[in-house]
């Protein structure tokens, strides 16, 4: 059973977190929308509202559904409601020297757990530690009929419903309103340092691919404005040995660089152009479309400013085995921000939407026209 519309204090070891359970109100709102066939636009902190196709509907505010409901540091699992701010969660984890290892970007102080999971964003640590989807153990959500559903659990070895909970990661709320999530967490690394080498983009890309194949404690690999940065995380002895092997110089501002990269606060991101997110294999060649490009994830994630047509970007990414997404448009942008999905994949999307949201009231069209 869950309590509704009450405030409470959750005591977790030697600290406490204020919580606010409004799941009853959220269930009632979705149920009413289902009965009236009224479209809903789901909103958390609003820091990632720019992402996805435009949605028209009555706003359902999840940001008041807050609080860490369970945290067992020895089990490496934390559970929190969807409206809980990432800043609050990371503060709680820091008390026990633990982290969200997929390094989610906030894009604002009011970023929430639910919005982060719905967008599926992961930071620079992703290829070395895992993606947001890899760390989701369980999710409670409200489907398009106003039914409260639970998938997965709160233990790492639990596999029942595991894949269903992962469907919510990156689903942008199209399958359900995320109410609560359980995540696996990891210990903070003992030490971190960043090495920097001055290399052009082509040479840096080759070096990135080489480094990805070596048994080094790398936790970040990025190239921007002529500099290749390599973040090392782990034990003091392991990082020291890797530092000697890599060469280059220590970047005294390395921690700040990775933070600004994660939050899109580097000068590279301060442009009045549409920003494309291209996900490919790290070994994939350049798209050869021109424009400015930043490499992250060892070359597997490419942030590109380019004025080519959406079709050209989608095709270019597809030719090298990846996909492109219009991440942040510079002005009003019509639907079609995601690369087209062909059958049978689109059929799977459509059937999932029908199963979870038969009247298509939850964030309609945020991913694709019928999803």
Q: Which two tokens stand for residue 221?
A: 């690999």
Instruction: Determine the length of the chain.
Output: 371
User: Are 97 and 137 in a shared domain?
Assistant: yes
Residue 364 CB-density burial (10 A; 0-12 exposed, 13-18 middle, 19+ buried): buried
User: Are 147 and 292 in a shared domain?
Assistant: no
User: Are 66 and 178 in a shared domain?
Assistant: yes
Gap between the Cα atoms of 28 and 355, Å rounded: 20
Runs of H (alpha helix) within the chain: 23-36, 86-95, 113-119, 126-129, 132-135, 162-167, 201-212, 236-246, 254-262, 310-319, 345-356
Query: Parallel, antiparallel, or unpaired for β 40-43 and 58-61?
Result: parallel
| Residue pair 221/208 in contact by the 8 Å Cβ criterion | yes
Residue 180's domain is classified under what CATH number? Answer: 3.30.465.10
**Is position 94 within any domain?**
yes
**Is position 338 within any domain?**
no
Gap between the Cα atoms of 354 and 363, Å rounded: 13
**Is position 357 within any domain?**
no
User: Are 16 and 68 in a shared domain?
Assistant: yes
**Global pTM value:** 0.91
User: Are 17 and 160 in a shared domain?
Assistant: yes
User: Are 285 and 182 in a shared domain?
Assistant: no
User: What pLDDT, on a 0 to 100 scale, did the predictor assign at position 159?
Assistant: 52
Question: Which one, of 206, 125, 136, 201, lies nearest residue 167 by Cα?
Answer: 136
Q: Which two tokens stand for residue 106?
A: 């906030």
User: What pLDDT, on a 0 to 100 scale, did the predictor assign at position 155?
Assistant: 62
**Is position 236 within any domain?**
yes
User: What pLDDT, on a 0 to 100 scale, did the predictor assign at position 260?
Assistant: 99
User: Are 234 and 196 in a shared domain?
Assistant: yes
User: Are 183 and 195 in a shared domain?
Assistant: no
User: What pLDDT, on a 0 to 100 scale, did the predictor assign at position 17?
Assistant: 55
Gap between the Cα atoms of 109 and 99, Å rounded: 17
Residue 318's domain is classified under what CATH number? Answer: 3.30.70
Total number of domains in the chain? 3
Gap between the Cα atoms of 277 and 338, Å rounded: 10
User: What pLDDT, on a 0 to 100 scale, did the predictor assign at position 18?
Assistant: 66
**Is position 267 within any domain?**
no
| Residue pair 266/215 in contact by the 8 Å Cβ criterion | no
User: What pLDDT, on a 0 to 100 scale, did the predictor assign at position 82?
Assistant: 98
- Low-confidence residues in the chain, pLDDT < 50: 1-15, 161-162
Question: Which one, of 70, 64, 41, lies nearest residue 182 by Cα?
Answer: 70
User: What pLDDT, on a 0 to 100 scale, did the predictor assign at position 14?
Assistant: 43
Question: Which one, of 113, 109, 78, 117, lies nearest residue 96 by Cα?
Answer: 78
User: Are 87 and 153 in a shared domain?
Assistant: yes
Gap between the Cα atoms of 314 and 325, Å rounded: 8
User: Are 245 and 297 in a shared domain?
Assistant: no
Would you call 256 helix, strand, or coil by DSSP? helix
Which residue reads 């990371």 in tokens?
90
Task: Please calculate the CA angle 226-229-231 and round it to the nearest 5 degrees.
Answer: 175
Gap between the Cα atoms of 364 and 269, Å rounded: 29
Give me the residues paired with residue 196 across strands. 229, 249
User: What pLDDT, on a 0 to 100 scale, did the predictor assign at position 10?
Assistant: 39
User: What pLDDT, on a 0 to 100 scale, did the predictor assign at position 121?
Assistant: 97
- Of 187, 214, 241, which one is at a domain's C-terminal end? 187
Domain containing residue 43: 6-187
**Is position 207 within any domain?**
yes
User: Are 135 and 26 in a shared domain?
Assistant: yes
- Of 235, 262, 289, which one is at a domain's C-terminal end? 262
User: Are 175 and 113 in a shared domain?
Assistant: yes
User: What pLDDT, on a 0 to 100 scale, did the predictor assign at position 69?
Assistant: 96
Gap between the Cα atoms of 256 and 262, Å rounded: 10
């Amino acid at each position: 059973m869950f309590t509704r519309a009450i405030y409470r204090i959750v005591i977790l070891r030697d600290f406490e977190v204020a919580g606010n359970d409004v799941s009853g109100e959220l269930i009632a709102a979705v149920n009413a929308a289902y009965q009236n066939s009224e479209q809903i636009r789901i909103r958390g902190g609003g820091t990632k509202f720019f992402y996805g196709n435009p949605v028209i509907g009555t706003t359902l505010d999840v940001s008041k559904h807050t609080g860490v409901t369970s945290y067992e540091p020895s089990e490496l699992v934390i559970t929190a409601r969807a409206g809980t701010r990432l800043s609050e969660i990371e503060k709680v984890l820091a008390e026990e020297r633990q982290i969200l290892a997929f390094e989610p970007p906030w894009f604002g102080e009011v970023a929430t757990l639910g919005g982060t999971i719905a967008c599926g964003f992961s930071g620079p640590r992703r290829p070395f530690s895992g993606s947001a989807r890899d760390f989701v153990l369980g999710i409670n959500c409200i489907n398009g009929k106003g039914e409260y559903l639970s998938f997965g659990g709160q233990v790492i070895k639990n596999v029942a419903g595991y894949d269903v909970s992962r469907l919510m990661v990156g689903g942008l709320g199209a399958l359900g309103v995320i109410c609560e999530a359980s995540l696996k967490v990891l210990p903070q690394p003992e030490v971190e340092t960043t090495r920097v080498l001055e290399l052009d983009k082509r040479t840096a890309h080759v070096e990135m691919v080489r480094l990805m194949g070596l048994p080094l404690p790398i936790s970040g690999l990025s190239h921007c404005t002529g500099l290749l940065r390599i973040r090392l995380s782990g034990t003091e002895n392991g990082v020291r040995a890797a530092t000697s092997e890599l060469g280059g110089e220590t970047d005294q501002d390395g921690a700040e660089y990775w933070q600004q990269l994660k939050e899109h606060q580097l000068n590279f991101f301060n442009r009045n152009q549409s920003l494309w997110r291209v996900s490919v294999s790290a070994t994939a060649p350049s798209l050869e479309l021109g424009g400015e490009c930043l490499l992250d994830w060892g070359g597997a994630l490419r942030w590109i400013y380019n004025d080519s047509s959406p079709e050209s970007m989608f095709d270019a990414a597809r030719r090298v085995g990846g996909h492109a997404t219009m991440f942040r448009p510079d002005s009003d942008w019509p639907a079609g921000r995601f690369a087209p999905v062909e059958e049978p994949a689109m059929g799977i999307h459509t059937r999932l939407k029908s199963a979870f949201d038969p009247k298509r009231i939850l964030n309609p069209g945020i991913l694709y026209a019928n999803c």
